[in-house]
Amino acid sequence: MPYQSSDKTRQKKDAKRTAMMQAAVRVFSAKGYHAATIRDIVSEAGVAVGTFYFYFPDKETLFVHLYEETAQFLLQAIQQATQSRATLPQQMKAGLQAYVNIAVYEPAVVQLLLVGGVGAVPALTVKRVEFRERLTLIWQRPLDKALAETYILPQNTRRTAEAFAGAFDEVILNLLNLPEAEQEAGAVIQELLQFALRAAAYTGGN
Amino acid sequence: MPYQSSDKTRQKKDAKRTAMMQAAVRVFSAKGYHAATIRDIVSEAGVAVGTFYFYFPDKETLFVHLYEETAQFLLQAIQQATQSRATLPQQMKAGLQAYVNIAVYEPAVVQLLLVGGVGAVPALTVKRVEFRERLTLIWQRPLDKALAETYILPQNTRRTAEAFAGAFDEVILNLLNLPEAEQEAGAVIQELLQFALRAAAYTGGN
Amino acid sequence: MPYQSSDKTRQKKDAKRTAMMQAAVRVFSAKGYHAATIRDIVSEAGVAVGTFYFYFPDKETLFVHLYEETAQFLLQAIQQATQSRATLPQQMKAGLQAYVNIAVYEPAVVQLLLVGGVGAVPALTVKRVEFRERLTLIWQRPLDKALAETYILPQNTRRTAEAFAGAFDEVILNLLNLPEAEQEAGAVIQELLQFALRAAAYTGGN
Amino acid sequence: MPYQSSDKTRQKKDAKRTAMMQAAVRVFSAKGYHAATIRDIVSEAGVAVGTFYFYFPDKETLFVHLYEETAQFLLQAIQQATQSRATLPQQMKAGLQAYVNIAVYEPAVVQLLLVGGVGAVPALTVKRVEFRERLTLIWQRPLDKALAETYILPQNTRRTAEAFAGAFDEVILNLLNLPEAEQEAGAVIQELLQFALRAAAYTGGN
DNA sequence: TATGAATGAGAATTCATTCAT
DNA sequence: TATGAATGAATTCTCATTCAT
């Protein structure tokens, strides 16, 4: 009779795998790719070194995988927020809220994406470009829609979206460096929203 | 006859020192601090390992020094550009031109500052924060002046400046990834200028 | 089945640790601290470089530890020998026997203490002084007792003990350089004993 | 016309050579062979690295040469002192005075011989043995003479001399570690003399 | 599955020695 | 002769990865 992992076994396995991945996100985002050691990760996860290699092929693969997954998570959250609204102000606000929320409550996610893997590993470069591209597109779509509806003045929306992506990241990273990030969050969202609407030359219609 | 530590010798030494530093900038900006090895640097410079340690105390010291020097160079260039003009549009345009110019003709400078040393070494973290702070201040000063003269609407200029810093960096890094960056430069400057003026709610006065 | 960190495993690890320490003692005592490389030690022990650093933090720490441990071992052996006897001749004889015994059957111990770590590492200098001090005290105590009981003539027992320490070491090191050290051992003990008793002006009482 | 170094030139050369050797003795005796670098030596001597290799073939050769020369100097001084006297007490006293004198006024000499080159370089081992041997013989000769004249009791004078060599070295090294070595010197000589005469069972004749 | 001991390639750094001037 | 810039072999130590249990 072939070995068949029962549900319970699989659950346990998944739980351990998940624990290690979460530990890895914490460690990678805290120390960056190179400074983070496998030992750091496994001791954070409470397992042995060997266990790491049972679940993951190697450090680099895990990191890239983590990066992709984390990017996916963040992008989806922001996109869903923007797509659930109709007007540009609402879309931008919802998107910013989602982004800031994640930044404040899951800072490791943002750290990993924006800081942890910058000069890290060659294989990541392309993923990074991809991430920036998708993030830009998320901000561009509402702009394109608003432009089509003449709610904003004619402009290179692609460029505006790039600028948004950079601007939001910078402000949010600065926010994370404050001790009372949570309290500031609301104000930051407001200010970024106004910034974005002004920058997009939002006219509110006609 | 004793060795002549004359001007010629001194000049040669300085030249070699400079050449090695430039090689180091190239390697650091291309690979990031950790991935760049001393061997990479010396082979880029065409010298032996020992020569590196004849000129510099160690990898970290050199990197931090390079980072500071490079930051100083970039910041000064932008600041001088903005300060040499009187009105907000002129200031922003001059600053952006200076920035984009350096990015296009000395890409390693920008790469080093924005990419090369991100999750690198503890001693650098503080330098990085300092650099971001100073860069933000450069963009903030024109805004404060314009605000005082009521050329822009009331706003948190600090936040606007942060957003500018992030926005410009992102767009410029994207520009550098293009094959024909040089040709695009003019358009990018124009678009960033318009973006900035809109975002600052520049009214042109009264 | 999970890895059993059982007694057997633990014992094996301890055994290997001990084996490596013995290898290190051999290498250190043969070459001295500086000339002994980690590679020497691990190849003597038959393991890989990494294994060394799995068991010990670094070369210097191990060496100092080894020195202390070895000193402790030798000093204790000599001291126990002297303390188990009552009269000066018996005490000196027992101490010398213990010392010569160790020198002949564990020459590395003596080599390490007397030769291996002489101009070695700053941290050791103090340990060395400490070792000489304790060794001197071991020889001084019987002298003080004998002096109190007027079995020896009045003298600076501290100085006499220092001279003993130096004299015994010199003769024993010379003994170790002989091919047939073992056979000579008995005669050396006798001669050193006579030497010591004469030098201490031992009168045998009254 | 062949190059002929004039007397003045040769003197200068010799002066520089001597300066470097003295510097080397200081550095070697202070740091030990391995820790002493060529750079240490030349900067102590006030010349450039290259100059070192003009006068000496390499570090090891210089060290061995220095060791021999220093040994020769010390041995000769002691031997002349002992040979200039007739009776054992006078010989021992003169020898000890010479030894302690050098130790106190040229501590580097003694440090180099007794400490600086212990686990140093293989080529030295034989020189070291030779030095100990010659030192022992210096102490042995007076003993043999005294024995022949029945001023001391029958004994293995070779062994006694070895013990003297070790005893004197130990006490003198301890003396050098004191801050006020100079003041103590007289007492140390006295005590060592008494020690030696007792140990040799000196009867003063018939 | 899980463990952690063991491995060894590779990195930073030192320093004796060489050599063009 | 004298200089000091340049060299590169050698050393210590780290850490991703493997493997016997």
Residues A24-62 have pLDDT tens digits of 999 999 988 999 999 999 999 999 999 999 999 999 999
Pairwise CA distance, residues A179 & A175, whole Å:
9
Q: What is residue A204's DSSP assignment? A: S
The pLDDT-based confidence of C206 (bands split at 50, 70, 90) is very low
pLDDT at position A197, please? 98
Q: What is the tens place of the pLDDT at every residue in A123-163? A: 888 999 999 999 999 999 999 999 999 999 999 999 999 99
Would you say residue B206 has pLDDT above 70?
A: no
Min Cα distance A193 → chain B (Å) is: 11
Lowest mean pLDDT among A40-44, C6-10, D131-135: C6-10
Domain boundaries, chain B: 1-56, 58-199
pLDDT at position C120, please? 67
Would you say residue C2 has pLDDT above 60?
A: no
Kindly determine whether residue B119 and residue A32, on different chains, have CB atoms separated by under 8 Å: yes
- CB A184, CB A144: distance < 8 Å: no
State how far Cα A44 lies from the chain centre.
22
What's the mean per-residue pLDDT of chain D?
A: 92
pLDDT at position B1, please? 43
The closest CB to that of A198, out of B116, B191, B198, belongs to: B198
Strand partners, C152: C202
Pairwise CA distance, residues C51 & C54, whole Å:
5
Pairwise CA distance, residues B28 & B26, whole Å:
6
Residue A75 CB contacts under 8 Å (≥ 6 apart), including other chains:
A131, A134, A135, A138
Q: Of residues 112 to 131 in chain D, which lie within 7 A of strand F by their beta carbon?
A: none
Would you say residue D119 has pLDDT above 80?
A: no
The pLDDT-based confidence of B205 (bands split at 50, 70, 90) is low
pLDDT at position D108, please? 94
- CB A188, CB A177: distance < 8 Å: no
pLDDT at position B14, please? 86
Q: What is residue C178's DSSP assignment? A: S
pLDDT at position D9, please? 63
What's the mean per-residue pLDDT of chain C?
A: 92
Average pLDDT rounded to a whole number, residues D115-141: 89
pLDDT at position D1, please? 37
Closest protein residue to E1 (Cα–C1'): C1
| Phi, psi (degrees; rounded to nearest 5) at D117 | -120, 55
Share of chain A above pLDDT 90, in %: 82
Secondary structure (DSSP) of chain B = ------HHHHHHHHHHHHHHHHHHHHHHHHH-TTT--HHHHHHHHT--HHHHHHH-S-HHHHHHHHHHHHHHHHHHHHHHHHHT--SHHHHHHHHHHHHHHHHHH-HHHHHIIIIITSS--HHHHHHHHHHHHHHHHHHHHHHHHHHHTTSB-S--HHHHHHHHHHHHHHHHHHHHHSTTHHHHHHHHHHHHHHHHHHHTTB-S--
Q: Give me Rg for the CA atoms of chain B.
A: 20
Pairwise CA distance, residues D65 & D68, whole Å:
5
- Cβ within 8 Å of C, D 28-67: 31-35
What's the mean per-residue pLDDT of chain A?
A: 92
The pLDDT-based confidence of C152 (bands split at 50, 70, 90) is very high
Min Cα distance B10 → chain A (Å) is: 36
Sequence-ordered alpha helix ranges (H) in chain C: 7-31, 38-45, 49-55, 59-83, 88-105, 107-111, 122-148, 157-177, 181-199
Average pLDDT rounded to a whole number, residues D133-143: 98
Coil, strand or helix at D156:
coil
**Higher confidence at residue A122 or residue D132?**
D132
Would you say residue D170 has pLDDT above 50?
A: yes
State how far Cα C179 lies from the chain centre.
21
* C37 CB neighbours strand F below 7 A: yes
Share of chain D above pLDDT 70, in %: 92
Pairwise CA distance, residues B160 & B168, whole Å:
12
pLDDT at position B13, please? 81
pLDDT at position A51, please? 97
Q: What is the tens place of the pLDDT at every residue in D19-66? A: 999 999 999 999 889 999 999 999 999 999 999 999 999 999 999 999
What six digits make up the tokens of C71?
Answer: 């000193």
Share of chain A above pLDDT 70, in %: 92
Residue C151 CB contacts under 8 Å (≥ 6 apart), including other chains:
C87, C88, C202, C203, C204, C205
In whole angstroms, E17 C1' to B36 CA is 29
Residue D58 CB contacts under 8 Å (≥ 6 apart), including other chains:
none
Half-sphere exposure of B168 (CA within 13 A, CB side): 31
Kindly determine whether residue D166 and residue C167, on different chains, have CB atoms separated by under 8 Å: yes
* Chain pair C-D, CB pairs under 8 angstroms: 113
Pairwise CA distance, residues A154 & A156, whole Å:
7
In whole angstroms, F20 C1' to C16 CA is 16
Share of chain C above pLDDT 90, in %: 83
Pairwise CA distance, residues D169 & D177, whole Å:
12
Q: Which of C75, D37, A200, D29 is CA-nearest to residue B197? A: A200
Would you say residue B2 has pLDDT above 90?
A: no
Percent helix, strand, coil in chain A (nearest 5)? 80, 0, 20
Q: Which of A14, A41, A16 is CA-nearest to residue C2? A: A16
pLDDT at position A206, please? 46
pLDDT at position A7, please? 62
What six digits make up the tokens of A12?
Answer: 């346990």
The pLDDT-based confidence of A185 (bands split at 50, 70, 90) is very high
What's the mean per-residue pLDDT of chain B?
A: 92
The CATH number of the domain covering residues in A1-56: 1.10.10.60
Cβ contacts of B194 on chain A, cutoff 8 Å: 155
Residue C184, amino acid:
E
Pairwise CA distance, residues D22 & D34, whole Å:
18
Cβ contacts of C170 on chain D, cutoff 8 Å: 132, 162-163, 165-167, 169
pLDDT at position D2, please? 41
Sequence-ordered alpha helix ranges (H) in chain D: 7-31, 38-45, 49-55, 59-83, 88-105, 107-111, 122-148, 157-177, 181-199
pLDDT at position B120, please? 67
Q: Which nucleotide is nearest to D13 (CA to C1')?
A: F1
pLDDT at position C119, please? 67
CATH of A58-199, one of 1.10.357.10, 1.10.10.10, 1.10.3720.10, 1.10.600.10: 1.10.357.10
- CB C64, CB C124: distance < 8 Å: yes
* Chain pair A-B, CB pairs under 8 angstroms: 112
pLDDT at position A115, please? 84
pLDDT at position B119, please? 67
pLDDT at position A3, please? 43
Q: What is the tens place of the pLDDT at every residue in B113-148? A: 998 777 668 888 889 999 999 999 999 999 999 999
Q: What is the tens place of the pLDDT at every residue in C57-99? A: 999 999 999 999 999 999 999 999 999 999 999 999 999 999 9
Cβ contacts of C169 on chain D, cutoff 8 Å: 166, 170
Which nucleotides in chain E have some atom under 7 angstroms from a protein Cβ? Answer: 1-21
Cβ contacts of D115 on chain C, cutoff 8 Å: 118-119
In whole angstroms, F4 C1' to A172 CA is 52
What six digits make up the tokens of B58?
Answer: 């160690």
